Structure 1
Amino acid sequence: MEFDWKRRNLLWQCSVVGLGFTGLDFTIVAKDAPDKSEEKEPEVTATEDLMREHGVIRRALLLYYELVPKLRKDVAGVDASALKQTAQLFRTFGEDYHERMLEEQHIFPLIRKQGPELQGYSDVLTAQHNRGREITDYILAVSNGPRISVAHAEPLARTLESFVLMYENHAAREDTIVFPAWKKNFSNKQLDEISDQFEDIEHKMFGRDGFEEAEKKISRIEGDLGFSDLGQFTPPRPPEI
């Protein structure tokens, strides 16, 4: 029995030593190969920054959406100034900064090289950017006066509906397909450097934190239009079956 115990103890020690050497060898091999999971994640990655900017853009789209029935029921009651401010924010933050400076210069050129499907997305998304700018020009033009004219009410309502539908689909594809595909090209360290680069672009364009300022502006417009209370958008219970 004593011999068996000693033998088992010896075998156990050998197995531990063997595992120790195996672990050592594995560690050496692992260190030789790059492992993204071991790299430090930046506080706000470039993709997170792009998606939170989409949040501001989507809040502008929701304001457009809420104004559509008002244009059809009581165009005189539509706040033309608030509509114009929303379009101006969409132009400066959404189109001039987010689309032109980030997506069109840094995102789309790279994903175009990642296969025909992503190249197709890049083409369509760019075309939608251009169409969106035409529509923003139109919104700014019809909201330039103190009121929205009756003649513009229905055409503007239809334009806003199509604009919102396009951009909701547009942003959803970018968040779930384009941005993740683009992110795969970089290590965490490289993404950290790109995040700094995006921040530099933001500061050059706005002279301050562009996202924070844009969020404050959209919050103020929501308040002016009576949409700041998130709870008002909670739907009633569904009908009983």
Structure 2
Amino acid sequence: MENLNNQSNRLDQQDKGRRDFLTKTSLLAAGGIALTGISSCGLQKGGDDDVTTNEDLMREHGVLKRILLIYDEASSRLIKGKDLNLELVGQSANLIKSFVEDYHEKLEEDHLFPRFEKAGQLTDLTKILRVQHKKGRLLTLRIIENAKKPNPTPDERKLMAQDMQAFVRMYNPHEAREDTVLFPALHKLISKHEYDSLGEDFEKKEKEQFGGDGFDMAVDKVTQIEKGMNIYDLNLFTPNI
């Protein structure tokens, strides 16, 4: 009888061990699935396609900033009488028109400025920004027209340099004020849901207007222009001190 009891106890312990093993295995498997799901969601949320509204607007400002550097260099060459491929100036101005004025600024004018104006916030700022958009478009058209001329006169070259300098002078503080005042205030003005929806609307508009990722296309184009002017190497801007 004692032997039977001992054998029964051993069987019970074995069964308990198997149950504990299966329980732990199930928990580990479930945990692995949960972690995998979290990881997948995290990767998706943090992927290249997940760009917030402000990040989208500010990286577009980065494209504008690079064109301002091109304008700065081109106007300097014109003033000093150095060689300059005016076709590259025309390409830069056309990129300003298509990507900055007809797309980026239209988003601001149609979706951002009206929200602030309706709420009675930063209205003095949006008023000035609208005026500067109009002035910028006039400068862009003049730069495009003068860059088309095969042999512009000295006066036309001077005017082109002045127009580019005026554009740079206006847009450096323009975009800086938007980046540091207007865009951050957008978070407080609208709900998170509206903010996220706005970003989705911007992405949809970008694909409709450019047939793909307009930002990537603009970066590729501005890179080509920089290389054509031999100013792509970032180290060129490092001071020799």
CA deviation vs aligned residue, 1:82-130 (integer Å, no higher than 9, x gap)? 0000000000000000001x100001001123445x1011110000000
Partner of 1:4: none
Partner of 1:106: 111
What secondary structure is seen at the aligned counterpart in 1 of 2:189? coil
1:185 Cα deviation after fit: 2.4
What secondary structure is seen at the aligned counterpart in 2 of 1:143? helix
Alpha-carbon distance in structure 1 between the residues aligned to 2:209 and 2:170: 26
Is the contact made by 1:60 and 1:218 (CA closer than 8 Å) also made in structure 2?
yes
1:147 Cα deviation after fit: 4.2
Alpha-carbon distance in structure 1 between the residues aligned to 2:197 and 2:208: 17
1:157 Cα deviation after fit: 1.6
Is the contact made by 1:95 and 1:133 (CA closer than 8 Å) also made in structure 2?
yes
Is the contact made by 1:88 and 1:140 (CA closer than 8 Å) also made in structure 2?
yes
Is the contact made by 1:111 and 1:181 (CA closer than 8 Å) also made in structure 2?
no
2:110 maps to amino acid: Q
Using the size of structure 2 for normalisation, the TM-score is: 0.77
Alpha-carbon distance in structure 2 between the residues aligned to 1:44 and 1:236: 37
Q: Which has the higher contact order (CA 8 A, sep 6+)?
A: 1
CA RMSD of aligned residues (A): 1.7
Is the contact made by 2:78 and 2:158 (CA closer than 8 Å) also made in structure 1?
yes
Partner of 1:83: 89
Matched, 1:94 2:97: no
Larger radius of gyration: 2
Instruction: Using the aligned pairs only, state the percent identity.
Output: 41
1:149 Cα deviation after fit: 2.9
2:112 maps to amino acid: I
Q: 1:56 aligns with which of 40, 43, 63?
A: 63
2:186 maps to amino acid: W
1:195 Cα deviation after fit: 1.2
1:189 Cα deviation after fit: 3.8
Q: Which moved more, 1:42-51 or 1:82-91?
A: 42-51
Is the contact made by 1:139 and 1:156 (CA closer than 8 Å) also made in structure 2?
yes
Using the size of structure 1 for normalisation, the TM-score is: 0.77
Total equivalences in the alignment: 195
Alpha-carbon distance in structure 1 between the residues aligned to 2:166 and 2:119: 30
CA deviation vs aligned residue, 1:109-156 (integer Å, no higher than 9, x gap)? 01123445x101111000000000000000001001234432212222
Q: Flag structure 2 segments of 5+ consecutive residues without an equivalent.
A: 1-44
Matched, 1:177 2:181: yes
Equivalences for 1:158-169 in 2 at 5 Å? Answer: 158-169=162-173
Matched, 1:122 2:126: yes
CA deviation vs aligned residue, 1:44-89 (integer Å, no higher than 9, x gap)? 11000000000001111110001122101225x1111000000000
